[in-house]
Chain A
Amino acid sequence: MSVWIAIGLTAVGCYLVKLLGLSVPAGLLERPLVRRLAVLLPVALLAALTALQTFGGGPGELVVDARVAGVVAAAVAVLLRAPFLLVIGVAVVVTAAVRALG
């Protein structure tokens, strides 16, 4: 049930924010500070999520496992400008390989 609450809130929130962008007069959100925050906020969230999902274990604990190898490989793929799908594929394959060997 609580998953449905999360899904409902996310769906409504994410939709309204998209509609807001198309609907408000351009000047309103175009203040320099708001724009800068809008640039940096996803950076902070995505960086945090990358780290959390790479090192996250059970509740309240951090672990180092095969995912680290996969994410490092993905980072190399990103640096080599691999396309999006390939980056994901590399992470998955390397993680699976390290786990199988380990």
Chain B
Amino acid sequence: MPPAPPRAGQPVTGPPDRPAAPVTTPAPSVPVPDATVARRAAVRDGLGVGVAVGLSGFAFGVTAASAGLSVLQACVLSLLVFTGASQFALVGAVAAGGNPYTAAAGAFFLGARNAFYGLRLAGLLRVRGWRRPLAAHWVIDETSAVTLAQSDPRAARLGFAVTGATLYVLWNLTTLLGAVGAGALGDPAAWGLDAAGPAVFLALLAPMLGGARERATAALAVLLALVCVPLLPAGVPVLVAAAAAPAVLLVSGARARSRRSATAGAEEPARRDARPGGGSGDAGVPR
């Protein structure tokens, strides 16, 4: 799914560990501006991201329909998969004529990053019982970015709910519209719509390319994928390209070890994925 960054410069309303104000009990003598500001920011971020990204479901609907999927199939994907990059990947693999297992594997590997968002959100959301399986469905790039950007846990939960609800409703509506409307468009290539898929991937990828290791991985993956196209069945090249990740890790790990042994006590590279909003593998909050 798209990397929708929450607006930069949202008000910092206090330290994150500040106890949430008891807004439900009337306490007129003690106003709670901080909590109110935080909740407003959460709603604003959630709506902004939800609307902007939700509308791009239209591109997905059109892409799916022009790849030969039925309207029902496009809608089922958005309803049940609900993680955009995986959906686009699956549709692309189906269009290229890949077999269903390699197509699903590529989509699944892309979706695996959501597990790491879930890990980071679990402590903030504290969803238990029947709510957890429901909340899990909304654990994606955008909801994680908004949730992790909030200043207190209560605002974080609100941000998650607002982003998730807005995005889920809009993404599914626009998928339906796109899939239905695709027929009326005629040849989607004439409208340039075959460029929507790669542009989506590029827009998702760009914020992740901050480090040398990431750029090396991307370059190697492109090379592997393109070299494999004439050699392997459709859908397989992208899986081969995934090997760029462990390969780069292996090489950079070996180099770090040799450097460490050279200059004893050298520090481990900063854990870039530990900063708020910059989740593992995340498009999350690029700017």
Q: Do A and B bind each other?
A: yes
Query: Residues of A contacting B206 with CB < 8 Å?
Result: 75, 78
- The number of residue pairs between A and B whose CB atoms lie closer than 8 Å in the complex comes to 335
A88 to chain B, nearest CB (A): 5
B interface size (C-beta, 8 A): 112
Q: Is B270 an interface residue when CB atoms closer than 8 A count as contact?
A: no
The reply to whether B221 and A10 form a contact with Cβ atoms under 8 Å apart is no
Q: Is B136 an interface residue when CB atoms closer than 8 A count as contact?
A: yes
Complex interface residues of chain A between 19 and 41 (CB less than 8 A to chain B): 19-24, 26, 29-30, 33, 35-41
The reply to whether B108 and A61 form a contact with Cβ atoms under 8 Å apart is no
Which of B59, B203, B206 counts the most chain A CB atoms within 10 A?
A: B203
The reply to whether A3 and B94 form a contact with Cβ atoms under 8 Å apart is yes
Q: Select which of B108, B192, B221 is within 8 A of A17 by beta carbon.
A: B108
Query: Residues of A contacting B89 with CB < 8 Å?
Result: 45, 49
Q: Select which of B55, B87, B193, B201 is within 8 A of A92 by beta carbon.
A: B193
For chain A, which range describes its interface: under 10, 10 to 19, 20 to 34, or 35 or more residues? 35 or more
The reply to whether A71 and B199 form a contact with Cβ atoms under 8 Å apart is yes
Contact with A along B139-173 (1 / 0, CB 8 A): 11000000000000000000000000000000000
- Give the complex CA separation of A49 and B2 in angstroms: 14
Known: A39-B214, A92-B196. A87 touches B202 (CB 8 A): yes
Complex interface residues of chain B between 171 and 213 (CB less than 8 A to chain A): 189-206, 208-209, 213
The reply to whether A95 and B245 form a contact with Cβ atoms under 8 Å apart is no
Which residue of chain A has the shortest Cβ distance to B122 in the bound complex? A22
The reply to whether A37 and B197 form a contact with Cβ atoms under 8 Å apart is no
A17 to chain B, nearest CB (A): 5
Complex interface residues of chain A between 30 and 85 (CB less than 8 A to chain B): 30, 33, 35-56, 59-62, 66-67, 70-71, 74-75, 78, 81, 83-85
- Give the complex CA separation of A70 and B226 in angstroms: 19
- Give the complex CA separation of A48 and B240 in angstroms: 9
Known: A11-B77, A84-B56. A47 touches B218 (CB 8 A): yes
Contact with A along B268-283 (1 / 0, CB 8 A): 0001110000001111
B10-18, B26-34, B78-86: which one contacts chain A? B78-86
The reply to whether A47 and B205 form a contact with Cβ atoms under 8 Å apart is yes
A52 to chain B, nearest CB (A): 5
- Give the complex CA separation of A60 and B232 in angstroms: 7
28 pairs across A/B with beta carbons < 8 Å? A10-B81, A14-B108, A18-B136, A18-B140, A21-B118, A21-B136, A26-B123, A35-B116, A35-B273, A39-B208, A41-B281, A42-B110, A42-B208, A42-B282, A43-B245, A46-B110, A49-B89, A51-B221, A53-B194, A55-B226, A60-B230, A60-B231, A61-B230, A66-B195, A67-B198, A74-B203, A78-B203, A92-B59
Binding site for B on A (CB under 8 A): 2-7, 9-11, 13-15, 17-24, 26, 29-30, 33, 35-56, 59-62, 66-67, 70-71, 74-75, 78, 81, 83-85, 87-88, 90-97, 99-100
Known pairs A44-B217, A46-B201, A53-B198; list 5 more (Cβ under 8 Å). A20-B118, A21-B121, A43-B245, A52-B96, A85-B53
